[in-house]
A = this chain, B = another copy of it.
């Protein structure tokens, strides 16, 4: 399942509206097929793995990170049917598919055909890998990651507005890699005006992986050429705020602090990506009010899920704790 999850990562940020599934087929202890959801969402991971395995899939065990689909689409047959036709003996599934067209029907169809199905192996990792797809199905909106580059004292820029650079080249390269893992990047109007960022991915070999660009703006008459789409500020206050954006299941909010505060105030941030430089700024630009009325409200909302060193900086990842 670890190998299947790793394969699924290959599709991260390129398969929306489909989930980035990974699949491995094992026959007699040997991997005979490997697949992952292809850019645009098809072929599915299982279909790709079965095509590679060919006749060797007969009697084999299939590891897949998401329940095989049960619905026939104009874009291809149902994977649960394909698995049955291929004659596999056993399917190990990390996570059930909440898509209403599958939602247990995939597992049921396999079991009806006499195929053994195990559910739950690697579920937590699969949930994290396909967080955007799941957030869209369960909450009708994209999964939002907020990225901030900060000093030890929480400054995102000097008081003068200068923010180049808080963090070093390794941290900035990592932030570019994170862009490739999201369907969209969003910045605020102030960031566009101040930095005129290109918001693309400038990592060798990954230039084509730049996500769609959004700008959060209070003014509807936006004539700046950089963003692909403007998101009116008022929309963010509505509960389904960003849910109407088509084919955007994962969004990376890159700041500045006003935009960050808008998303935090609306409780629309699922993951914090904090790049922390070992510098003290003093009097810098920090996160404005997010509507907190008491310190006790702030506690219990975030859990650290990752921490690592990037050059002289530290990356800390926090995930929103939701009941």
- The yes or no answer to A124 lying at the interface (CB within 8 A) is no
Partner of A299, one of B162, B264, B279, B290: B279
Quick one: given A278-B318, A279-B301, are A294 and B162 in contact (CB under 8 Å)?
A: yes
Stretch at the interface among A34-42, A152-160, A191-199: A152-160
For this complex, 20 residue pairs linking A to B, each with C-beta atoms less than 8 Å apart, are A152-B154, A152-B272, A153-B286, A154-B155, A158-B292, A158-B295, A162-B294, A162-B295, A264-B282, A277-B299, A278-B303, A279-B301, A280-B287, A280-B301, A281-B290, A281-B292, A282-B290, A283-B287, A283-B292, A286-B286
- The yes or no answer to A302 lying at the interface (CB within 8 A) is yes
Whether B162 contacts A298 by the Cβ 8 Å rule is no
Interface residues on A, range: 35 or more
> Which residues on B sit within 8 Å (CB–CB) of A165?
295
**Given A264-B280, A278-B304, 17 further pairs, Cβ under 8 A:** A148-B153, A152-B318, A153-B154, A153-B287, A154-B155, A162-B294, A163-B295, A265-B282, A272-B280, A280-B298, A281-B290, A281-B298, A282-B287, A282-B289, A282-B292, A283-B290, A283-B292
| Closest-CB distance, A22 to chain B (whole angstroms) | 31
| Closest-CB distance, A72 to chain B (whole angstroms) | 45
Q: Give complex CA distance A301, B283 in Å.
A: 17
How does the 8 Å CB contact mask read for A310-323 relative to B, with 1 for contact and 0 for none?
00001010100000
- The yes or no answer to A284 lying at the interface (CB within 8 A) is yes
> Which residues on B sit within 8 Å (CB–CB) of A302?
152, 278-280
